[in-house]
Every structure is written in structure tokens, then in C-alpha cells.
């Protein structure tokens, strides 16, 4: 699940943009992809990418009032270095 989520370049770009700040709407993520990555997938496609990232635990979404916000969670990435720890120099 984690590796499949990371395997797609658009999903990696979404994660890049979510580093900038927490609590981004779908609209903001789409705007950032267009301007900063020259990526213009449909909003539905971005929503599906966010579903995959959320299933992998890399993104959390929450509803606040009438809006939905998305936030990055890098903690699942620790599984990678736990499994293949960097060697001491």
C-alpha cells in the first residue's frame, strides 16, 4: 500500500506540496500542482490520488464546517528506514 502510493509521480508531487503547509483544500492542491509542477489532472483524479495516499496513511483529511482539509503524515515512511536502515559511515 505504501509503495504503491509512492509509485506515482503525481502522488509524489501532491506530497511535495503538502509539505508546504497543513490543512489544504482540494482546490489549493490542484492549484499548486498546476503552478509548481505543471500538472493539470482533473479534480476527480486528484481526489482519487488523495484517497490512495490516505489509505496508505500518508495523508489525513478532516472535515471542518463545510470544507475538507488535507494534511501530510510522514510517519508511515519510517517503515522504510526501519526495514533498510542507513549504514553508519
25 binds other proteins (CB under 8 A): yes
The H-or-E segment that residue 62 falls in is strand 59-64
For other proteins, give the closer residue by CB, 63 or 83. 63
Length of the chain: 89
Q: What angle do CA 13, 37, 45 make, to 5 degrees?
A: 60
**Cell numbers given for 59:** 495523508
Q: Which of 1, 4, 27, 51 binds other proteins (CB under 8 A)?
A: 27
66 binds other proteins (CB under 8 A): yes
Q: Which residues bind other proteins (CB under 8 A)?
A: 21, 24-28, 31-32, 34-35, 43, 47, 63, 65-69
Amino acid at each position: 500500500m505504501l509503495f504503491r502510493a509512492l509509485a506515482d509521480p503525481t502522488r509524489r508531487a501532491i506530497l511535495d506540496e503538502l509539505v508546504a503547509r497543513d490543512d489544504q483544500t482540494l482546490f489549493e492542491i490542484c492549484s499548486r500542482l498546476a503552478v509548481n509542477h505543471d500538472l493539470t489532472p482533473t479534480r476527480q483524479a486528484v481526489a482519487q490520488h488523495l484517497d490512495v495516499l490516505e489509505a496508505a496513511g500518508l495523508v489525513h483529511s478532516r472535515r471542518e464546517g463545510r470544507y475538507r482539509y488535507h494534511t501530510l503524515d510522514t510517519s508511515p515512511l519510517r517503515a522504510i528506514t526501519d526495514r533498510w536502515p542507513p549504514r553508519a559511515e
